[in-house]
């Protein structure tokens, strides 16, 4: 990928040529911490003769699987991000996501292709805590954002991805001067293909839709799931498993995963949509799911990490949140700790399996 390496690329303020990348990689693999070894492995893959890299999907809705991503498409994605957010050569960017994820890899690709000055830190819940000078750009998960609110004024532009952003956090972020965006994307689309501006000059309502990046358009399939057409991905569209309310070929509201929809007595319930409404009143991690029910076919249940009184929790929520009568969970289950995917997301299938095993 020498032909796309930008001469302005710097790492910790030190400029590095394409030929230097191998030295960086070997040093990180030999002497670095585990997260740095992952960086080194990716950099060696990047400068290899292969036109692809192998990337594991996140495993959010099933076992992670390896897929091939073309390096040239990753370059095109990086350039699209740079153009949309106005992030050219010299951009000071912070990487605080694992290089094992597509989000982490793409920060490196953007830096090398666009000529950024990249800094990296060990992935943690509060990666901005020790940040000295302000930075122009970074990418965080919602959990990292919640733990980094005091440090956000140090960031010029922030993108948030990896999980839905709660309404409470959306409202909090609207008060910041930085340009902040919730993003929509996945491994198969090589990170984000749509954004929701939360703060800054492009800001919209927290309940507003996701907006396509330039030259990207959307359709829906027969299931009501999003279909993504992106020039840099090729002629074939990416068919997702995300059910959406399609507002136009460039805007949509995300409803939830098709494989998580709960059909309760003929009423379709979208767990993720309801979770967003409940999340600001929850002190524990939780998620909603369906389980078999003799009368309803399926019923909605809440799974909460920790210990507590389920009936008291539901009663408290009903005093604070306005949901339709049939949209409330019918039961609350507590579990000591959620199973997690390698990327740190809640592994819902494994958690439910463990829960069922304990109850039998």
Least confident of 10-24, 63-77, 98-112: 63-77
Place of tokens 């919730």: 182
Residue 116: pLDDT above 90?
A: yes
* CA 177 – CA 208 distance, rounded (Å): 19
* CA 89 – CA 7 distance, rounded (Å): 9
Confidence of residue 63 (pLDDT cuts 50, 70, 90): low
* CA 162 – CA 139 distance, rounded (Å): 10
Each domain of the chain, given as residue ranges in start order, spans: 2-255, 261-359
* CA 137 – CA 135 distance, rounded (Å): 6
pLDDT tens figures, 214-236 = 999 999 999 999 999 999 888 89
Please indicate whether residue 141 or residue 207 has the higher confidence score (pLDDT). Answer: 141
CA 256, distance to chain mean position in Å, is 14
Dihedral sign (CA 342, 44, 30, 39): negative
Residue 210 sits at φ, ψ, to 5 deg, of -75, 145
pLDDT tens figures, 303-341 = 999 999 999 999 999 999 889 989 999 999 999 999 987
- Is CATH 3.30.300.30 the right assignment for the domain spanning 261-359? yes
The Cβ of residue 98 has, within 10 Å, a number of other Cβ atoms equal to 18
Residue 58: pLDDT above 70?
A: no
Residue 191: pLDDT above 50?
A: yes
Residue 360: pLDDT above 80?
A: no
**In the predicted model, what is the mean pLDDT of residues 61-77?**
84
Give one DSSP letter per residue of 122-182, joined into a string: ---S-TTTT--S-EEEEEE-HHHHHH-GGGGGGEEEEEE-SSPPPHHHHHHHTT-SSEEEE
Residue 179: pLDDT above 80?
A: yes
**Four-point Cα dihedral 142, 145, 146, 150, nearest 10:** -170
Average pLDDT over the chain, rounded to whole?
92
Report domain 2-255's class: alpha beta
Residue 60: pLDDT above 70?
A: no
* CA 285 – CA 153 distance, rounded (Å): 27
- Strands 14-15, 52-56: pairing is unpaired
- Strands 191-199, 210-212: pairing is antiparallel
**In the predicted model, what is the mean pLDDT of residues 238-255?**
95
Confidence of residue 151 (pLDDT cuts 50, 70, 90): very high
């Amino acid at each position: 990928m020498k032909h796309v390496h930008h001469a302005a690329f710097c790492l910790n303020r030190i400029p590095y040529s394409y030929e230097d990348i191998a030295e960086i990689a070997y040093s990180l693999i030999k002497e670095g911490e585990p997260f740095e070894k992952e960086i080194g492995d990716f950099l060696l893959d990047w400068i290899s003769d292969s036109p692809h890299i192998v990337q594991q999907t996140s495993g959010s809705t099933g076992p992670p699987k390896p897929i091939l991503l073309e390096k040239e498409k990753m370059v095109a994605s990086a350039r699209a991000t740079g153009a949309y957010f106005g992030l050219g050569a010299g951009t000071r960017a912070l990487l605080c996501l694992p290089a094992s994820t597509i989000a982490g890899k793409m920060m490196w690709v953007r830096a090398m292709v666009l000529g950024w000055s990249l800094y990296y830190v060990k992935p943690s819940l509060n990666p901005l805590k020790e940040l000295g000078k302000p930075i122009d750009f970074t990418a965080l998960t919602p959990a990292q954002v919640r733990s980094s609110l005091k440090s956000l004024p140090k960031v010029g532009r922030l993108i948030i991805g990896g999980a839905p952003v709660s309404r409470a956090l959306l409202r909090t972020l609207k008060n910041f001067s930085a340009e902040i965006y919730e993003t929509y994307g996945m491994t198969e689309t090589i990170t984000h293909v749509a954004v929701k501006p939360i703060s800054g000059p492009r800001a919209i309502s927290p309940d507003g839709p996701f907006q396509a990046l330039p030259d990207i358009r959307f359709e829906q399939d027969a299931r009501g799931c999003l279909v993504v057409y992106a020039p840099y991905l090729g002629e074939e569209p990416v068919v997702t498993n995300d059910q959406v309310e399609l507002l136009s070929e460039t805007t949509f509201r995300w409803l939830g995963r098709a494989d998580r929809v709960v059909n309760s007595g003929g009423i379709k319930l979208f767990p993720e949509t309801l979770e967003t409404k409940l999340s600001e009143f929850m002190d524990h991690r939780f998620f909603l799911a369906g389980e078999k029910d003799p009368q309803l076919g399926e019923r909605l249940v809440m799974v909460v990490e920790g210990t507590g009184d389920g009936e008291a929790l539901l009663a408290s929520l009903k005093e604070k949140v306005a949901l339709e009568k049939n949209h409330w969970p019918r039961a609350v289950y507590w579990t000591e700790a959620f199973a997690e995917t390698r990327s740190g997301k809640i592994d819902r299938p494994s958690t439910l399996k463990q829960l069922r095993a304990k109850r039998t």
